[in-house]
Amino acid sequence: MIKVTVLGSGNVGFHLINLFHSSTKIHLNEWYSRSLNSDDRVKVINEIEKLSESDIYIICVSDNAIAEISDNIIFKNKLVVHTSGSTSYTSINKKNRRGVFYPLQSFSKSQKLNYSEIPLCLEAENDEDLETLKNMSVLLKCKFYEINFEERKTLHLAAIISNNFTNFLFGLSKEIIDSKNLDFNILKPLINETVNKIHKLDPSKAQTGPARRNDLSIMKMHENMLEDKNIKLLYKTISEMIKQKYGN
């Protein structure tokens, strides 16, 4: 049985604890956190130098803290991986064997997830450790992909646009709705259909709207309705990009 230690108690660390705790094939050894005192699922360690030995140490912290955390792991020649989408495994101290265990998903502690649907992007410094990460993914019943650093950076960029940027646009839409005392729930079926459609169609074929059909009068009306100059510029910029893409 693979023995795992998780380092970090942010959103990713929280969900990985759930994932490993729910598995009968993985032994969740310890959870390093400077802020938690205890947890019903696993032994919590507040001082990194008091960690016990595990087969894999998974660092779930911000990108700029990975190096410091890995420096402070007292063991040598252990498999240490991080969960970042935009950082090389070389940020991990080379006293240990290095790799990446990147779950490509948006994590919030309040949101329950089906972990089997989350793709795991795996990379390791040597083939044997890569096989260990693949085997662990199989035991967790998670889909996995062997992804190198350049590919992972590309996936992370695309994920930012499709998730973070899209969510920001949802927020702008809600502000517009709220400004007229309308109910944001009215838009949710449209939002759901927009997401559901790309499971059946290429996004480029699913594009609709006034910019797609080059309806200049509607676009001009919308621009005039927008008082915030930044939102107006955003509307014009995206509309122009759509027009150019579809030859309008």
Domain of 234? Answer: 152-245
For residue 77, give the CATH number of its domain.
3.40.50.720
pLDDT in tens, the chain (248 residues): 899 999 999 999 999 999 999 999 999 999 999 988 888 889 999 999 999 999 999 999 999 999 999 999 999 999 999 999 999 999 999 999 999 999 999 999 999 999 999 999 999 999 999 999 999 999 999 999 999 999 999 999 999 999 999 999 999 999 999 999 999 999 999 999 999 999 999 999 999 999 999 999 999 999 999 999 999 999 999 999 999 999 86
In a shared domain, residues 18 and 137: yes
In a shared domain, residues 233 and 179: yes
Verdict on whether the full-model pTM lies above 0.75:
yes
| Tokens matching residue 211 | 């910019």
pLDDT at 5: 98
**Cα–chain center distance at 107:** 6
In a shared domain, residues 18 and 132: yes
For residue 160, give the CATH number of its domain.
1.10.1040.20
Beta carbons within 10 angstroms of residue 18's beta carbon? 16
Q: Which residues, 6 or more positions from 189, have their beta carbon under 8 angstroms from its beta carbon? A: none
| Tokens matching residue 241 | 């990009």
Point out the domain boundary residue: 147, 162, 182. 147
pLDDT at 248: 64
Beta carbons within 10 angstroms of residue 35's beta carbon? 8
Distance CA 63, CA 47 (A): 20
Point out the domain boundary residue: 147, 166, 196. 147
Distance CA 202, CA 32 (A): 42
> For 94, which DSSP code?
T
Point out the domain boundary residue: 147, 182, 201. 147
Distance CA 80, CA 84 (A): 13
**Cα–chain center distance at 212:** 30
DSSP assignment of 111-179 equals S---GGGSPEEEEESSHHHHHHHHHHHHHTT--EEE--HHHHHHHHHHHIIIIIIHHHHHHHHHHHHHH
Q: Which residues, 6 or more positions from 236, have their beta carbon under 8 angstroms from its beta carbon? A: 223
Total structural domains within the chain = 2
Nearest by Cα to 142 from 110, 168, 178, 115: 115
In a shared domain, residues 216 and 184: yes
